[in-house]
Amino acid sequence: MHKTLTCRCGDLKMEIEGAPIIGAECYCTSCRTAGAKLQALPGAPTIRNAEGGTPYALYRKDRVRFTKGTEKLAEHRLTPKSHTRRVVATCCNTPVFVEFQNGHWLSLYAGLWPASDAPAMQLRTMISDLPPDVTLDDRLPNAKQQNLGFFAALLGAWVAMGFAVPQLDFIKGSIDA
């Protein structure tokens, strides 16, 4: 199965192949902080849910192909030494993905899909970072950290890739959100 995703204005296009490794809502402090900053950019879509979590569909890097507009991509890091970068299409400030240094997957923002076609979320992760006044329902498993199932899914994908770690060296710019 191939699916085409775009930024809000359509200047960036990418094709994804197959199903995600996993669908997860992340509640870590970094995702909540970066999510608030990125969705505050002019014209940016909302990427966090009502509880402050960020829904992602994790895909193997070798199953995501950028077909148009890579020159519009820029990275944001919470700190200069951060091993995590969040990549935004600067044409319309659409957050596109999160990439972990030396990771074999991309965490695509679930908001890239139309709501009717959004990937299913399978779990919540890092809820231990939530403020005490935030309460989550029980429609998804609520993991205090990344759980064994989360890591097993990532490891299985890496094995299937022959332990490859594709590099995305075409992202040149950066933004200060």
Please name every residue paired with 59 in a beta bridge, in sequence order, or none if there are none: 106
- Which one is the CATH code of 2-168: 3.40.228.10, 3.40.50.920, 3.40.640.10, 3.90.1590.10? 3.90.1590.10
Please name every residue paired with 6 in a beta bridge, in sequence order, or none if there are none: 13
Write out pLDDT tens, residues 32-72.
Answer: 999 999 999 999 999 999 999 999 999 999 999 999 999 99
pLDDT bracket for residue 155 (50, 70, 90) = very high
Write out pLDDT tens, residues 98-114.
Answer: 999 899 999 999 999 99
> Average pLDDT of 136-150?
85
Query: Domain-by-domain residue ranges, the chain?
Result: 2-168
